[in-house]
Amino acid sequence: MIRKLLAAFAVLCAGAIVSAHAADKIDPAADLKAFQAYFKQQFPAVPLDDFVNGPYAVNKGMRAQWESIMQFPPYDFALDAGKTLFNTPFKNGKTYASCFPHKGVGIRQDYPQFDAKTGEVVTLELAINRCRAANGEASLNYETGPMDSIVAYMAETSRGKRFDIKVPKDPRALAAYQNGKQYFYSRRGQLNFSCASCHVTAAGKRMRGDILAPALGILASFPIYRSDWGSMGTVPRRFTSCNSQVRAVALKPDDKAYRDLEYFLTYMGNGLPVAGPGTRP
Amino acid sequence: MKPIAIAILIALAAATPALAAGEQDFTAAYAAAAKVEQQALAMQAAWTTTEKTLKDAKKAADAKDYDHATALARQAEALAKQSIRQAEEQKTAWRYAVIR
């Protein structure tokens, strides 16, 4: 009997070790397949594309409130401001259109992307600030203000296009992807929560008054007007906010770790439509 | 000199270094805590609680409440150590949470 128990324990241990080693293997396509399958299984009644609507996809009451809110979307002011900012020439006469493919229209689904020249992940916010620097303009705040308006406008011109994040077979790109994955699953803060604790394990469940959004498609609606903030915010703003909520010291909004996290998480939503800008409680 | 006066003098002499020791204890405890917290920050593992406890310790020291300040500094050091331990553990533990 004891032998049988020991054998069973050894098999369990070996399984855990094999699983851990499997997590070390960098295979974005396999990760994506498993990630999306998990959420389809957890929420069989939710159409795949609807995951971009976060908590509204998994809670009827919240969806009804959201549909009412959307009669007068609170991000409309940001959209108007963003369109103006996007088309206003820099001091040198050029505009943001000069920095992006397709003049910056309908490209949200391609960000974040790996930049082979610098060997790092470039988010849309970073690309906007790089564009400004290249044209002799000062950087914008990454989290809110004019930045969220410009990103809102660029997202709106991309609505419905499918996320198509590429992880090339460049070891630096794969390392960035893996860093993002590690960040997503690592517990941090005094409350000992990972991103996955809320948005995988407890997805769809309540956290105080909130319904936790599933991680699948969670970034598709950014930037968002968040009622809790009373203003718009970009993905980096949400990351710093999440960190603070679990009592972890937030990183700089353009920190490499956040960019890698956004790279991983957006890649997990490949195939889902751009839905930004959005609203959240 | 009367014995009572001698006793008072001895008590005063003993009390003065004790106060200085309180400040010294705080300075040492705070420096130790700040050092560990710097390590946690460098590892991107720091907790907001540690930062707040360090600030509270400084405030208590500014108010000359060295016993409380020292206790808070030691608490901050313990929190900083825990945050580093968490980060060290998570270097491998995260793998077990991955969706497969």
Residues A84 and A99 in one domain: yes
Q: Which of residues 105-134 of A touch B (CB under 8 A)?
A: none
Comparing CA positions, the residue from A188, B10, B100 lying closest to residue B2 is B10
Instruction: Say if A10 falls within a structural domain.
Output: no
Using a CB–CB cutoff of 8 Å, tell me whether A242 touches chain B: no
Instruction: Say if A17 falls within a structural domain.
Output: no
Q: Which of residues 156-185 of A touch B (CB under 8 A)?
A: 181-182, 185
Using a CB–CB cutoff of 8 Å, tell me whether A148 touches chain B: no
Whether A242 is catalytic is: yes
ipTM score assigned to the predicted complex: 0.88
Q: What is the pLDDT of residue A2?
A: 55
pLDDT at A7 over 70: no
Residues A140 and A175 in one domain: no
Q: Is B47 helix (H, G, I), strand (E, B) or coil?
A: strand
Using a CB–CB cutoff of 8 Å, tell me whether B42 touches chain A: no
Instruction: Say if A1 falls within a structural domain.
Output: no
| Tokens standing for residue B1 | 């000199």
Instruction: Say if A5 falls within a structural domain.
Output: no
**Among candidate residues A98, A125, A156, the one where a domain is terminated:** A156
pLDDT tens across A22-65, in order? 556 899 999 999 999 999 999 999 999 999 999 999 999 999 99
Q: Which residues pair with A206 in a beta bridge?
A: A211
Which of B36, B48, B49, B84 to probe the A interface (max A CBs under 10 A)? B48
Look up the domain containing A256 and give its range.
Answer: 26-73+168-280
**Among candidate residues A108, A128, A156, the one where a domain is terminated:** A156
**Among candidate residues A112, A129, A156, the one where a domain is terminated:** A156
Instruction: Say if A48 falls within a structural domain.
Output: yes
pTM of the model: 0.90
The CATH number given to whatever domain includes residue A249 is 1.10.760.10
Residues A120 and A149 in one domain: yes
pLDDT tens across A69-115, in order? 999 999 999 999 999 999 999 999 999 999 999 999 999 999 999 99
pLDDT tens across A237-274, in order? 999 999 999 999 999 999 999 999 999 999 999 999 99
Using a CB–CB cutoff of 8 Å, tell me whether A248 touches chain B: yes
Nearest Cα residue in chain A from B96: A20
DSSP B99: -
Residues A130 and A150 in one domain: yes
Residues A152 and A208 in one domain: no
Residues A149 and A178 in one domain: no
Instruction: Say if A161 falls within a structural domain.
Output: no
CA-to-CA distance for A25 and A6, rounded, in angstroms?
A: 29
Average pLDDT value for residue range A199-226? 95
pLDDT at A164 over 80: yes
HSE, side-chain direction, 13 A CA sphere, residue B39? 17
* pLDDT band, very low/low/confident/very high, at A21 (cuts 50, 70, 90): low
What total of structural domains would you count in chain A? 2
Cβ partners under 8 Å of residue B80, min gap 6: B33, B36, B37, B39, B40, B46, B47, B50
Q: What is the pLDDT of residue A38?
A: 98
Residues of B in contact with A251 (CB under 8 A): 44
Sign of CA dihedral B29, B34, B36, B37: positive
Q: What is the pLDDT of residue A25?
A: 83
Judge: B44–A257 Cβ closer than 8 Å, yes or no: yes
Q: What is the pLDDT of residue A105?
A: 98
Instruction: Say if A3 falls within a structural domain.
Output: no
Nearest Cα residue in chain B from A244: B48
Judge: B100–A23 Cβ closer than 8 Å, yes or no: yes
Average pLDDT value for residue range A117-145? 97
Helix and strand counts by DSSP (H, E) for chain B: 3, 0
* Bridge pairing between strands A210-211 and A224-226: unpaired
Judge: B44–A251 Cβ closer than 8 Å, yes or no: yes
Asked whether the beta carbons of A115 and A168 are under 8 A apart, the reply is: no
Q: What is the pLDDT of residue A209?
A: 85
Residues A175 and A269 in one domain: yes
Q: What is the pLDDT of residue B5?
A: 62
Tens-level pLDDT at each residue, chain B (100 residues): 566 666 655 555 555 555 567 999 999 999 999 999 999 999 999 999 999 999 999 999 999 999 999 999 999 999 999 999 999 999 999 999 999 9
Average pLDDT, chain A: 93
* Bridge pairing between strands A224-226 and A278-280: parallel
CA-to-CA distance for B48 and B53, rounded, in angstroms?
A: 9
Nearest Cα residue in chain B from A191: B47
Instruction: Say if A7 falls within a structural domain.
Output: no
